[in-house]
Structures are given as structure tokens and as C-alpha cells.
Amino acid sequence: MSPLHPYARQIDALEKRARARRLIPRAGIDFSSNDYLALAHSPAISSALMEALAQGVPAGSGGSRLLRGNAPEHEALEEQAARFFGSEAALYMANGFAANLSILSTLPRAGDLIIADELAHASMIDGIRQSKAQAVFVTHNDAVAFEDAITAWRTQGGTGTPWIVAETLYSMDGDMAPVDDLFAIATRHDGFLLLDEAHATGVFGPDGKGLSTHLEGAENLITLHTCGKGLGVEGALVCAPKLLTQTLINKARPFIFSTAPSPLMAVAVGAALNQISGPSGDMLRDELRALATHAGEVICAPLGLPMPETQIIPIIIGADARTMEVAAACQNAGFDVRGVRPPTVPPGTSRLRLSITRNLTNEDIDALAETLLPSLRAKESL
């Protein structure tokens, strides 16, 4: 038997369940990216990169940050990010996955308890799996469940530090965490709070600083601002007390043993932070909110769905195959709409994830509605 046989069976099984993934070229009007503010093609960011190239900034870092890969551009960005977000320190990493993996596999210690939202991102789950701390997952966005888990742990003899882990804006549901309640619980129990601001950075808060900016600088708060979504570029910024960023530099294996991000990308992130601040940043956010409101009026309201709170609109269909059929109908009509299936979302909740970005116009949204609504209603009648 071929050694490839088990993998063939695995892929065949995924195909039969309508869960096989494949890479496809970009095509159609963008309803799937996380380029919320349309900064991926920003002339200002491109100009900053061209200027850096002209000044001799290299494309590659040449090594890990602890070897020769630590460039002045990395350190300048970290200083800028700490000032911008209001933290004592910041650490620039390759991406949000590596950052969450680093934080959760390194900072919680044996004897601690990690209490994570049941819909926490896969990068958080993998970090928790590698941690020496005990872990429990609790009901989504239920602050009481977080506190009850800590209380039960203490009652059973837990003496370490509790770590509350959540996203501020959930990428598949488009809803927001009870940030203030979670911070109060963490503080009340002498614990830490880790908040992943990935889908809020650039979009929410004063100057796009996120949904937890009013808490920034607290000694028990760690925030993660990924740079490949609202900022339109690449990488991730861990904002935290300096003692914790120093611990990551010394102990986090994904940081220690990875080639440093390109110095050019550090320049690009710095330019993106400049773009999202001030009146020009407010204008970008206002335009995005207006588009999301319009999408709610022409897509959500006719389907009986609540108006969206954010730029992410989930349309839950349920069955995997049916979800992919509706997505295909949209794609065939010229719209880049993607179906999302388990294990990315819980079983029975396969959905279309509509991502509203400044790459769209009201006319684009109207045109999608003309295709999407009949497709959904046709499937409902089967």
C-alpha cells in the first residue's frame, strides 16, 4: 500500500463532507478580505516603503531578532506602537498566530489557570495546548462564566494566577466581548487579561486603537494588535508591561527561533499607524461604518437578521454543502464571498462571512444583495 494512502483517504473524507479546502485565485468584488480600511494599496504606505528602499533599508532581516535580525526599524516601530496604543512596551512579531502562540505557551505557568472564551481563535487554542497551565473554555461572551470558573478553581485548591483570554471582536460572529467586565474580573482575582484586538485595530476606538484602549497601560493587561487586517500590512504587535515583553524575548520559542520580520514591513506598519490616527483616520472609519450600515439595510433586514454592530456580517446557513452552494452562486456572479465550515466554526453553524471593507461601494453591496437574497431563498424552499 502506498504511504500516501492515509492522506488520500483523509482528503476524500473531507470532500464527501463538503469540507475540503483549496487555494483559489483572487477573483470578484471583495467581500472576504480583512482589509477593512482599504490600506493594503495605500499610496502613503507605498511611499514610505519606497523611501525606505531608497535609504538602503533591506528587504530581509538576515536572522532572528536575537541574532543579527534586530533592525533599527523594528525598534523604532515598537517605540511608536507603545506610544500610540498607550502600553509600557511593544514587541513586533511575524503574525498574530505566532504572537498568540508565544504569549500563551510562555507566560501562564504551571499552577495557573487559563479561562478562554469557547470561540477563541485557533492560535490561542494552540498556545493553550502548549502551556503548562490548566485550561478551561467557557460560554462565549459570558462574563459570569469566566468568574465562576475562577471561583470553582479556587474552591478546588487553585493557588496560581488566572489568565482570562478573549478576542475583543470575533471574526466569525462579528460581535464584541464584554471587555470592561472581563478586566474587572481579572483585576478582582489578581489575574491577567489577554485581549486579541485583531479585528478591531484600526476600526474601533479613538484613532483606531481598539476596544480596550481605555484600559491600556494596566499591569495585568496584554493586548495583541495584528497588522494584516485594519492596518493593511503584516505582522503583530504585542502591547504589555515591559517585564512581559522581556519574558517573551527570553522564553517564547516562536519568537526566539523565527527569522525576524522584514525591516521594510516594520516601516509599513509605522506608516499604517500614522494613517489610522487623526481626522484622516476618522474619515476612513466613518466611511466603513456607513458601508456596514448600508449592508445591514439591504442584506440583513430583508433576511430578518439584526443590524450589524461591526464590519463583519455572518449569515448562518447550517449545512456545509448548502453553504458552499450559496457561496458558489455568489462567486459565479462575480462576488468574492466565502463559505466558512467546521472546524473553523462549530458544527451545524456553517455560514457565509461577509466582510465589509472600504474596497466596496454601496452599489457593490446592492448588487450582492440582488444575487445573495434569491440564492438563500431558493435554498430555503428546497
- CA 68, CA 152: separation in Å to the nearest integer? 47
Encoded amino acid at 49, one letter: L
pTM for this model (two decimals): 0.94
pLDDT, residue 208, reads: 98
Strands 192-196 and 162-167 come out as parallel
123 is catalytic: no
Query: Known catalytic residue: 42?
Result: no
E strand or H helix that includes residue 379: helix 362-380
> What pLDDT is stored for residue 24 in this prediction?
82
The domains of the chain are located at: 22-41+279-380, 57-276
Which DSSP helix (H) or strand (E) runs through 226? strand 221-226
How many helices (H) and strands (E) would you count in the chain?
Answer: 14, 12
173 is an active site residue = no
Are 22-41+279-380 and 57-276 the same fold in CATH?
A: no
Neighbouring CB atoms inside 10 A of 140's CB total 16
Fold that domain 22-41+279-380 belongs to in CATH: Aspartate Aminotransferase, domain 1 (3.90.1150)
Q: Which helix (H) or strand (E) holds 102?
A: helix 96-106
| Whether residue 41 lies in the annotated active site | no
Catalytic residue among 32, 34, 102, 262: 34
What residues contact 45, with CB distance under 8 A and at least 6 apart? 39, 232, 233, 268, 271, 272, 275
The confidence score (pLDDT) of residue 379 equals 54
Instruction: Determine the pLDDT at residue 26.
Output: 86
175 belongs to the catalytic site? no
Catalytic: 34?
A: yes
Question: Which is the catalytic residue, given 73, 78, 167, 173?
Answer: 167
- Looking at 139-277, list the stretches that DSSP marks H as alpha helix, in order from N- to C-terminal side: 143-155, 179-188, 242-251, 253-256, 263-276
Catalytic residue among 30, 196, 320, 364: 196
pLDDT values of the chain reduced to their tens digit, one per residue, 382 residues: 899 899 999 999 998 888 888 888 888 999 999 999 999 999 999 999 999 999 999 999 999 999 999 999 999 999 999 999 999 999 999 999 999 999 999 999 999 999 999 999 999 999 999 999 999 999 999 999 999 999 999 999 999 999 999 999 999 999 999 999 999 999 999 999 999 999 999 999 999 999 999 999 999 999 999 999 999 999 999 999 999 999 999 999 999 999 999 999 999 999 999 999 999 999 999 999 999 999 999 999 999 999 999 999 999 999 999 999 999 999 999 999 999 999 889 999 999 999 999 999 999 999 999 999 998 887 554 4
Residue 196 a catalytic site member: yes
Q: Which of 316, 318, 292 is nearest to 304 (CA)?
A: 316
**CA gyration radius, the chain:** 22
220-233 CB burial, b ≥16 within 10 A, e <16? bbbbbbbbbbbbbb
Is residue 185 within 8 Å of 150, Cβ to Cβ?
Answer: yes
CATH for 57-276 is 3.40.640.10
Q: What is the dihedral of CA 351, 352, 356, 359, to 10 degrees?
A: 150
According to DSSP, residue 258 is labeled S
